[in-house]
């Protein structure tokens, strides 16, 4: 480098290569060091990023078909070869469901057919939803012209029977309960080019609230969020090897369900509750998993407004009975079917008793009864009582699309109903929880308007990490600000339901939890049970058009007195076993529903409670003539539910399990500890022939945005570690650069 000096036109040439000032040479050296550090930082960041991507790819390797699944056409199955992880398509033909409704009881027959159009012998695997209160009591499987009938066995015993039949080449079927509203069906040794029919029967109670009867039939599944870290082998390579060995041993479908999810340290059965969804949208003009729906209704009284909220139906009447079917004949199984009807004015039932008598072989006959009583409740007596209302809004990725619009509209309407004497707060959550205020604030016009503006800008993203939001909402403030109510707006798409129920049970205190289910296929089991443990109520909103009427009905419950301290005095000498044992509080428009078992149910009973602080009572004469099939199974289903609730409340599961098994086997019901298993007598599959696992695709819920990733961002810590490491590297570079600058300034 050279420098020119001008003095009286005299030019001096100076060579800086040897006598360059030390401070300038130091600056040049420092710049080089900083440049090198920056390049090293970028290099390390690239290596870290590549490691994260490789780790993520390995974690999901067992579901590597995700990139190929988009090629599957609507209404088809997946055929998986043993070791190559390649799939062929097989047709899912159709489904049929018929509801036979008699008073408060609905007996339901479900038939689902699929076709193995491949040239292989296959094992079919299908994860499907049913109502979470359904008492499933019958299972038959028709394979070609063979029909095999299932029976209830203890769960592990049923698995052993099924595996033995599968390995022996016999046609066999197994139906297991993963959640009260989620089931897995497996059919082994399906011959090539053969149609399979799965036939299930269940009974359920008709819902009755606000003078309206209704029932819902779930038709698909919203993908569940799986919190926690995946339980897998020490390395991804060994994990993949284990899966290939499992495939070779034909044990894969029993333990993994061919789902996209891993088992985690929080959700131990994650792989069993994460069925594949068809990537095609159901509203694209093509039927996906077509179903036909029909029903007949006999309420013993004239009806009006028989309607379906989300599907067009055709209704006819013959001899006092109503028949209905889908106007289109078939629809996609992409949105829950909801049917509702009302009695004519002045015909609304105030009390009803449905009895089924079961004759014992060596014992006296047993009466089982379903009792419905509609209390006459006061209105508006609590209108001036101050409330502290905490709203929880789910903005996770599963809410993207129509659901988030429904949720925002519901919350904005709720905020608009607040009164000046109320206090409120809003907690938004996805992967984390974000309270709008540190604690509840006064519901002034300004505070409410600011909250509404923030809600209008909320978008769906991230995971469904409910735990922090629930704990935050249930945390009691030091100041008593009136009746404390928590309104939880979500699709309930989680796999750790039991942990969340325990959180509610532990932290509820004086609060009341009300759940609002959003979307075309919410997790109704979580929504209903969370409201039960929260001593509140559950509301489902399946379209934007329902926001106003259904939220208004919820406000009626929030703003009016609750019937509390309810007790039943049964006739003398009548020993009953009733469920629920402790009768829950009743909100405006809710009936009292009790399932009872007794040797002889007759006489007069007395129901008492407190309505707005005043004693309320009502008597009822127990008279019955007609028999109603299914009541005994509903009683058994309710007893099983209460036993399982005791586990949430702290009772040892090991003590509860044998009691549940005894009830389920006696009444031939599916439960968490019992399964249906069916096996043909002779082997069908030639011994040299291998068996290919086959998984059924569920339809994507209507209106739900397509999910980019099968796993929640919080499933592993690799991304967090990457970004933290990158931040530390950049911070180190900045600190080093500043330290060099200070050195230079001192020189």
Residues 674 and 140 sit within 8 Å (Cβ to Cβ): no
Confidence band for 31, pLDDT divided at 50, 70 and 90: low
Tokens encoding 60:
């999901």
- Distance of alpha carbon 392 from alpha carbon 425, whole angstroms: 9
Q: What's the Cα-to-Cα distance from 355 to each of 239, 348, 365, 578, 603, rounded to whole Å? A: 54, 20, 12, 14, 14
**142 or 1: which leads in pLDDT:** 142
Half-sphere exposure of 419 (CA within 13 A, CB side): 11
pLDDT, average across residues 722-737? 64
Three-class SS of residue 421?
coil
Give the pLDDT of residue 239. Answer: 47
> Average pLDDT over the chain, rounded to whole?
82
Give the pLDDT of residue 709. Answer: 41
- Longest CA–CA separation in the chain, Å: 132
Three-class SS of residue 498?
helix
**302 or 362: which leads in pLDDT:** 302
pLDDT, average across residues 578-600? 91
| Residue range 317-335, pLDDT digits in tens | 988 899 999 999 999 998 9
Ranking 317-321, 368-372, 439-443 by mean pLDDT, the lowest is 317-321
Query: What is the pTM (predicted TM-score) of this model?
Result: 0.81
Ranking 199-203, 506-510, 610-614, 629-633 by mean pLDDT, the lowest is 610-614
Give the pLDDT of residue 85. Answer: 42
pLDDT, average across residues 477-503? 89
Give the pLDDT of residue 68. Answer: 39
Give the pLDDT of residue 386. Answer: 85
H-type helices in 207-297, by residue range? 236-248, 252-255
Which helix (H) or strand (E) is 478 found in, with range?
Answer: none
Residues 112 and 97 sit within 8 Å (Cβ to Cβ): no
Give the pLDDT of residue 721. Answer: 57
Sign for the CA dihedral angle at 714, 718, 724, 726 comes to: negative
Could you tell me the domains of the chain? 2-59+717-746 (no CATH), 74-218+276-337+674-696 (2.60.40), 349-377+563-664 (2.60.40), 387-559 (3.40.50.410)
pLDDT, average across residues 162-169? 94
- 645-653 own/partner pairs: CB under 8 Å, 24+ apart: 645/533, 647/498, 648/498, 648/501, 648/502, 648/505, 648/533, 649/505
pLDDT, average across residues 360-375? 83
- Distance of alpha carbon 119 from alpha carbon 70, whole angstroms: 23
Give the pLDDT of residue 241. Answer: 41
Residues 27 and 744 sit within 8 Å (Cβ to Cβ): yes
* Secondary structure in 3-state letters for 360-382: CCCCCCEEEEEEEECCCCCCCCC
* pLDDT score of 547 more than 60: yes
- Distance of alpha carbon 355 from alpha carbon 335, whole angstroms: 34
Residues 396 and 429 sit within 8 Å (Cβ to Cβ): yes
- Distance of alpha carbon 12 from alpha carbon 162, whole angstroms: 99
Q: What's the Cα-to-Cα distance from 25 to each of 29, 37, 38, 736, 741, rounded to whole Å? A: 6, 19, 20, 18, 14
Percentage of residues in the chain with pLDDT exceeding 90? 50
Minimal CA–CA distance to 603: which of 572, 630, 575?
572
| Residue range 376-428, pLDDT digits in tens | 755 545 556 789 999 999 999 889 888 899 999 999 999 999 999 999 999 99
Confidence band for 558, pLDDT divided at 50, 70 and 90: confident
Three-class SS of residue 719?
helix
- Distance of alpha carbon 84 from alpha carbon 185, whole angstroms: 24
Three-class SS of residue 220?
coil
Three-class SS of residue 595?
strand
b (16+ CB within 10 A) / e for 718-728:
beeebeebbee
Place of tokens 């629920």: 580
| Residue range 151-160, pLDDT digits in tens | 999 999 999 9
* pLDDT score of 481 more than 90: no
CA 376 to chain centre: 34
Q: For 231, which DSSP code?
A: -
Instruction: Report the Cα–Cα distance between both ends of the chain, in Å, rounded.
Output: 22
SS percent in the chain: helix, strand, coil, step 5 = 30, 35, 35
Give the pLDDT of residue 701. Answer: 84
Confidence band for 287, pLDDT divided at 50, 70 and 90: confident
Examine residue 603 and say whether the peptide bond preceding it is cis (omega within 30 degrees of 0). no
Beta-bridge mates of residue 315 = 324
Give the pLDDT of residue 203. Answer: 98
Give the pLDDT of residue 434. Answer: 95
Beta-bridge mates of residue 597 = 368, 577
């Amino acid at each position: 480098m050279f420098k020119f000096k001008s003095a009286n036109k005299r030019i001096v040439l100076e060579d800086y290569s040897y006598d360059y000032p030390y401070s300038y040479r130091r600056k040049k050296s420092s710049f080089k060091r900083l440049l090198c550090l920056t390049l090293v930082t970028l290099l390390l960041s690239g290596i870290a990023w590549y490691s994260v991507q490789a780790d993520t790819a390995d974690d999901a390797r067992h579901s590597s078909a995700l990139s190929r699944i988009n090629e599957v056409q609507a209404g088809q199955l997946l055929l998986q070869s043993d070791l190559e992880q390649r799939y062929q398509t097989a047709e899912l033909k159709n489904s049929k469901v018929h509801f036979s409704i008699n008073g408060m009881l609905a007996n339901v027959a479900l038939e689902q057919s699929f076709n193995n159009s491949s040239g292989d012998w296959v094992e079919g695997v299908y994860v499907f939803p049913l109502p979470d209160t359904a008492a499933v009591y019958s299972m038959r499987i028709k394979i070609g012209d063979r029909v095999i009938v299932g029976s209830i066995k203890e769960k592990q015993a049923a698995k052993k029977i099924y595996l033995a039949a599968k390995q022996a080449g016999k046609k066999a079927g197994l139906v297991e309960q993963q959640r009260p509203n989620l089931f897995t069906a497996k059919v082994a040794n399906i011959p090539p080019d053969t149609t399979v029919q799965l036939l299930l029967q269940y009974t359920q109670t008709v819902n009755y609230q606000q003078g309206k009867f209704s029932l819902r039939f779930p038709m698909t599944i919203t993908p569940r969020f799986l919190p926690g870290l995946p339980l897998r082998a020490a390395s991804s390579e060994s994990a993949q090897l284990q899966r290939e060995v499992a495939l070779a041993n034909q044990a894969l479908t029993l333990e993994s369900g061919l789902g996209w999810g891993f088992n985690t340290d929080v959700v131990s059965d994650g792989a069993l509750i994460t069925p594949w969804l068809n990537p095609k949208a159901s509203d694209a003009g093509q039927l996906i998993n077509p179903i036909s729906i029909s029903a007949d209704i006999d309420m013993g009284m004239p009806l009006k407004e028989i309607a379906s909220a989300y599907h067009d139906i055709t209704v006819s009447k013959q001899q006092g009975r109503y028949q209905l079917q889908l106007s289109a004949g078939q629809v996609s199984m992409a949105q829950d079917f909801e049917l509702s009807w009302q009695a004519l004015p002045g015909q609304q039932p105030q009390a009803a008793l449905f009895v089924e008598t079961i004759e014992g072989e060596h014992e006296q006959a047993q009466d089982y009864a379903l009792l419905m009583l509609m209390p006459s409740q006061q209105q508006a007596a609590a209108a001036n009582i101050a409330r502290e209302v905490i709203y929880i809004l789910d903005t996770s990725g599963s809410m993207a699309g129509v659901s988030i619009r429904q949720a925002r509209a519901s919350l904005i309407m709720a905020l608009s109903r607040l009164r000046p004497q109320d206090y409120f707060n809003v907690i938004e959550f996805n992967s984390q929880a974000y309270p709008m205020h540190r604690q509840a604030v006064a519901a002034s016009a300004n505070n409410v308007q600011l909250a509404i503006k923030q809600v209008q800008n909320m978008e769906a993203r991230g995971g469904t990490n409910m735990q922090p939001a629930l704990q935050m909402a249930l945390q009691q403030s030091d100041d008593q600000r009136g009746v404390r109510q928590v309104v939880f707006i979500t699709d309930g798409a989680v796999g750790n339901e039991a942990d969340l129920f325990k959180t509610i049970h532990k932290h509820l205190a004086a609060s009341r939890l009300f759940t609002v289910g959003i979307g075309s296929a919410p997790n109704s089991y979580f929504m209903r049970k969370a409201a039960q443990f929260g001593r509140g109520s559950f509301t489902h909103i399946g379209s934007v058009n329902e926001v106003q009427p259904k939220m208004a009905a919820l406000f009626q419950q929030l703003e009016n007195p609750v019937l509390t301290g309810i007790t039943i005095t049964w006739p003398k000498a009548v020993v009953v076993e009733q469920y629920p044992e402790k009768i829950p509080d009743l909100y405006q428009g809710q009936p009292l529903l009790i399932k009872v078992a007794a040797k002889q149910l007759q006489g007069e009973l007395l129901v008492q409670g407190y309505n707005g602080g005043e004693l309320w009572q009502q008597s009822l004469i127990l008279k019955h003539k007609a028999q109603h099939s299914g009541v005994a199974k509903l009683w058994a289903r309710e007893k099983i539910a209460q036993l399982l609730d005791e586990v949430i409340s702290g009772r040892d599961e090991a003590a509860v399990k044998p009691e549940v098994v005894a009830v389920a086997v006696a009444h031939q019901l599916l439960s968490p500890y019992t399964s249906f298993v069916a096996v043909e007598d002779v082997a069908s599959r030639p011994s040299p022939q291998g068996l290919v696992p086959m998984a059924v695709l569920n339809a994507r819920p209507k209106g739900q945005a397509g999910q980019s990733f099968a796993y929640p961002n919080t499933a592993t810590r690799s991304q967090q570690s990457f970004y933290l490491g990158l931040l530390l590297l950049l911070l180190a570079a900045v600190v080093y650069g500043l330290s060099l600058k200070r050195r230079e300034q001192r020189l």
